[in-house]
Chains A and B, each alone.
Chain A
Amino acid sequence: MRTVRRVWGAVRWYARELTGEAECDRYCDRHRRHHPHAPVPTRREYEALRTLRREEHPQSRCC
């Protein structure tokens, strides 16, 4: 059971990292460290920021 939970945890961690879902946590952590008094962006606000960035920095996909 413990192994199953560990493997599931690892898969979940990898999927979240790969899709960028985990980026929000990292960003908010950083935000807290650097601007302790400013309000941390909500998930919705963060995602809006992230898509805006993506809008301006297209990444090429290869053949």
Chain B
Amino acid sequence: MPTSALPESGRQAPEKSRMSPKSVAIWSAVAALGALGWGVLALARGEEISAVWLVVAALGSYAIAYRFYSRFIARRVLQVDDTRATPAERLEDGVDYHPTDKRVLFGHHFAAIAGAGPLVGPVLAAQMGYLPGTIWIIAGVIFAGAVQDMIVLFLSMRRDGKSLGQMARDEIGRVGGAAALIGVFAIMIILLAVLAMVVVNALAESAWGTFSVSMTIPIALFMGFYLRYLRPGRVVETSFIGVALLLLAILGGGWIQDSSLAEYFVWSPETLVFCLVGYGFFASVLPVWMLLAPRDYLSTFMKVGTIALMAVGVVIAAPNLKAESVTDFASTGAGPVFAGSLFPFLFITIACGALSGFHALVSSGTTPKLIQKESQVRLIGYGSMLTESFVAVMALIAACVLEPGLFYAMNSPAALLGPTVDTAAEAVKNLGFTITPDQLTAAAKAVEEETLVGRSGGAPTLAVGMSEIFAGVFGGAGMKAFWYHFAIMFEALFILTTVDAGTRVGRFMLQDMLGNVWKPIGRVTWKPGIWITSALVVGAWGYFLYAGVTDPLGGIKQLFPLFGIANQLLAAVALAVTTTVLIKSGRLRWAWVTGIPLAWDVAVTFTAGWQKIFSDNPAIGFFALRDKYAQAIEDGQLLPGATNMDDMHTIVLNNTVDGVIMAIFLLLVLTVLVNCAVVCVRAVRATEPLPTTEAPYVESRIDAPERSEEPLVGARS
């Protein structure tokens, strides 16, 4: 058993233990290394530093946090008990519930929480320099994100795998529960729209990208039929074939780009929106084996492979960070990528890499039903989230190795940059950075794209950064175009998997909600019901997607804050529910573990939401911008960004809708928070502990995992 460095406070100490001199030495070295990384980051003034220091600071901090803080939470706060049977053991049915090896479950859980979010947010946040983003990604995950994931996982496990919505209803009450449920659905719609927009921005006008990403559909269909009819159940074999075909599709894209077929794959953003909406609809109504399941396998393989490749690339290439540590935009709030000052907007932009409310839905879904032993929530909940955070750190590095001039030329809204490389270079100069038109053309040519100007959304920037890093290690400058499109493909693959799975989940939620009003629509076997609800879900995110793509002021700049706030609000709901349950179960003295992140998250989201609604600065407030353009329409003038009166009306409409949505989100979450507060006060005042829905203790009959390793070799095929 590893030993504890925490002072044993007597009473419920699971075992008396003191650290051996060897582990004291090892952990001191880890701490010193992490501190060295932070020291280099903090003391760098003006000169470029190597990205390796960022990796060292991150890994050192993660190791210390995992070893000490997660262990403290597991032992003191949650009081995990390995003699207690988990639902996987008690309710084992071979289908939903079965004890799963912790390393396998870690992989499952990580694949379910990791996606495009931690890749996109940090890239946009690079606007404020690498330091604020790094600090928040690392500190945020240690004290908020990973804590939330682990505790939600634990509480759900103690309740036989109940979902966050069910826990909210059972532990808080019906009002809070209903608000949480509607909030989850609404937030998911915005999330899907913004993620889909990232894909649209990455593929628009690019024959190579569009060809290779659209090839993923026939590849998935082929895998689906292969798995069902030719070689049932041979998932690993099928995935390898799929990955090989995928790489061929990327190479084929380069060939298509140079051939006369290219024009058939150069699509406008609007066309791509309709393709995505159609795709989402079919993915939701077709049987899962055809499209959804094979895509999921493909995406998991690519995810693990690419992330490993990226880590190797960063360490071997050891690129220098070209971005400043803290830019002026951090204090002025006048950055072109997203508006607003460091507090609160940095924290909602990074979103998934540090704290993600969406993970609470995954942590209270399938994973808790598969845990073998209670103490494993540490590895699976806390550990997976640390890994996700590391992905975010690498995305930040990829964005910061680019020349700042190129970064702003890619990520500023089109309205600011103008139509040509010359206007873009001029605009970048006005922002205080330099890049020549020739350099912009050369950068686009190196990755074989028409242009890189105004390719916002984060994905193209990450892809350029990754191609820079990868080309330094594998294949040299000649491979840049391949790596760029490899990165685009893998992000698009992630996002499309989220979009099709999300549409399906959304459809089930909607069927469930509407089923209360009109029975037939709730039946999951009634075809028209499936079609109607699927159409409603894709219609909802499709609307925001279309509005974002056609927004004259740049959809990412408008909608990304909404997405970030929504995700962090969901985290507020999850943290409020966990804090309430901790207090109800007599753990008031440990309530700060989730209470402090909750307070921080509420401060961030409500400040950001408040500013988005009430700020009179049109760059930040939705309604201020709306009023400005509405006034201009009355006066009959065109404002920057709009080329005609229709654009002006679009801007007014979009900002009204965004502002109203923002207000609805805040009100829903406020309802949950107030309801939680009432329950907490009642729990503190009560002389007897309030009833909770925790499943009663049953003694475990399986051995502690340390003693009974799954056989590594010998699983029969």
* Nearest-neighbor residue (CB-CB) of B296 within chain A: A61
A58 and B712 contact, CB distance less than 8 A:
no
List residues 11-36 of chain A with CB under 8 A from any CB of chain B.
12-22, 24-27, 30-31
Interface residues on B, range: 35 or more
List residues 497-534 of chain B with CB under 8 A from any CB of chain A.
497-498, 501-502, 504-505, 507-508, 524
* Nearest-neighbor residue (CB-CB) of A45 within chain B: B232
B638 at interface by CB-CB < 8 Å: no
B233 and A63 contact, CB distance less than 8 A:
no
A30 and B188 CA atoms in complex are apart in Å by 38
List residues 291-312 of chain B with CB under 8 A from any CB of chain A.
293, 296-297, 299-300
Secondary structure of the B side of the interface?
Answer: helix
B95 and A27 contact, CB distance less than 8 A:
yes
B361 at interface by CB-CB < 8 Å: yes
Could you say which residues of chain A place their CB within 8 Å of the CB of B239? 19
Could you say which residues of chain A place their CB within 8 Å of the CB of B112? 59-62
Could you say which residues of chain B place their CB within 8 Å of the CB of A43? 232-233
A17 and B712 CA atoms in complex are apart in Å by 11
A61 and B501 contact, CB distance less than 8 A:
yes
Instruction: Please give the distance in Å from B352's CB to the nearest CB on chain A.
Output: 5
B233 and A47 contact, CB distance less than 8 A:
yes
Could you say which residues of chain A place their CB within 8 Å of the CB of B117? 62-63
**B94 in complex: contacting residue of A15, A27, A44, A58, CB < 8 Å:** A27
Contact of A58 with B195 at beta-carbon distance under 8 Å, contacts A25-B716, A51-B287, A63-B115 already known:
no
A63 and B567 contact, CB distance less than 8 A:
yes
B712 and A44 contact, CB distance less than 8 A:
no
Could you say which residues of chain A place their CB within 8 Å of the CB of B296? 61
B113 and A62 contact, CB distance less than 8 A:
yes
Contact of A56 with B524 at beta-carbon distance under 8 Å, contacts A51-B289, A62-B358 already known:
yes
Instruction: Please give the distance in Å from B651's CB to the nearest CB on chain A.
Output: 27
B288 and A26 contact, CB distance less than 8 A:
no
Secondary structure of the A side of the interface?
Answer: helix
A51 and B293 contact, CB distance less than 8 A:
yes
A17 and B99 CA atoms in complex are apart in Å by 12
B442 at interface by CB-CB < 8 Å: no
- How many A-B residue pairs have C-beta atoms within 8 angstroms? Tell me: 124
**A19 in complex: contacting residue of B100, B297, B712, CB < 8 Å:** B297
Instruction: Please give the distance in Å from A59's CB to the nearest CB on chain B.
Output: 6
A37 at interface by CB-CB < 8 Å: no
A60 and B524 contact, CB distance less than 8 A:
no
B421 at interface by CB-CB < 8 Å: no
Could you say which residues of chain B place their CB within 8 Å of the CB of A61? 112, 115, 296, 299, 497-498, 501-502
Q: How many residues does chain A have at the interface if contact means C-beta atoms less than 8 Å apart?
A: 36
A16 and B233 contact, CB distance less than 8 A:
no
A24 and B83 CA atoms in complex are apart in Å by 29
B362 at interface by CB-CB < 8 Å: yes
**A53 in complex: contacting residue of B95, B114, B234, B498, CB < 8 Å:** B95
List residues 84-111 of chain B with CB under 8 A from any CB of chain A.
94-96, 98, 100-101, 103-104, 107-108, 111
**A26 in complex: contacting residue of B98, B114, B115, B195, CB < 8 Å:** B98
A51 and B288 contact, CB distance less than 8 A:
yes
B293 and A59 contact, CB distance less than 8 A:
no
* Nearest-neighbor residue (CB-CB) of B188 within chain A: A60
B444 at interface by CB-CB < 8 Å: no
Instruction: Please give the distance in Å from A25's CB to the nearest CB on chain B.
Output: 5
**B502 in complex: contacting residue of A13, A54, A60, CB < 8 Å:** A60
Instruction: Please give the distance in Å from B298's CB to the nearest CB on chain A.
Output: 11
Could you say which residues of chain B place their CB within 8 Å of the CB of A18? 104, 107-108, 111, 300
B232 and A6 contact, CB distance less than 8 A:
no
A61 and B108 CA atoms in complex are apart in Å by 11
Give the residue among B195, B352, B366, B712 with the most A Cβ atoms within 10 A. B712
Instruction: Please give the distance in Å from A62's CB to the nearest CB on chain B.
Output: 5
B330 at interface by CB-CB < 8 Å: no
B713 and A6 contact, CB distance less than 8 A:
yes
**B715 in complex: contacting residue of A16, A31, A60, CB < 8 Å:** A16
B556 at interface by CB-CB < 8 Å: no
A14 and B114 contact, CB distance less than 8 A:
no
Could you say which residues of chain A place their CB within 8 Å of the CB of B373? none
B227 at interface by CB-CB < 8 Å: yes
A21 and B236 contact, CB distance less than 8 A:
yes
A15 and B196 CA atoms in complex are apart in Å by 30
Instruction: Please give the distance in Å from A5's CB to the nearest CB on chain B.
Output: 8
* Nearest-neighbor residue (CB-CB) of A29 within chain B: B94
Instruction: Please give the distance in Å from B87's CB to the nearest CB on chain A.
Output: 16
Could you say which residues of chain B place their CB within 8 Å of the CB of A62? 112-115, 117, 352, 356, 358-359, 361-362, 498
List residues 189-246 of chain B with CB under 8 A from any CB of chain A.
191, 195, 227-228, 232-236, 239
Instruction: Please give the distance in Å from B570's CB to the nearest CB on chain A.
Output: 11
A13 and B235 contact, CB distance less than 8 A:
no
B717 at interface by CB-CB < 8 Å: yes
* Nearest-neighbor residue (CB-CB) of B191 within chain A: A63
B94 and A26 contact, CB distance less than 8 A:
yes
Could you say which residues of chain A place their CB within 8 Å of the CB of B717? 16, 25
A21 and B287 CA atoms in complex are apart in Å by 19
B365 at interface by CB-CB < 8 Å: yes
B150 at interface by CB-CB < 8 Å: no
Could you say which residues of chain B place their CB within 8 Å of the CB of A21? 233-236
Instruction: Please give the distance in Å from B291's CB to the nearest CB on chain A.
Output: 12
A44 and B232 contact, CB distance less than 8 A:
yes
A26 and B714 CA atoms in complex are apart in Å by 13
B662 at interface by CB-CB < 8 Å: no
Could you say which residues of chain A place their CB within 8 Å of the CB of B356? 62-63
Contact of A15 with B712 at beta-carbon distance under 8 Å, contacts A55-B287, A61-B502, A62-B114 already known:
no
Could you say which residues of chain B place their CB within 8 Å of the CB of A56? 524
Instruction: Please give the distance in Å from B356's CB to the nearest CB on chain A.
Output: 7
Please give 11 more A-B residue pairs, beta carbons under 8 A apart, in addition to A13-B712, A31-B94, A51-B293. A14-B103, A18-B104, A19-B300, A30-B94, A43-B233, A46-B233, A47-B228, A47-B233, A53-B95, A60-B112, A62-B352
7 interchain pairs (CB within 8 A)? A12-B236, A18-B108, A47-B227, A51-B228, A53-B95, A58-B505, A63-B115
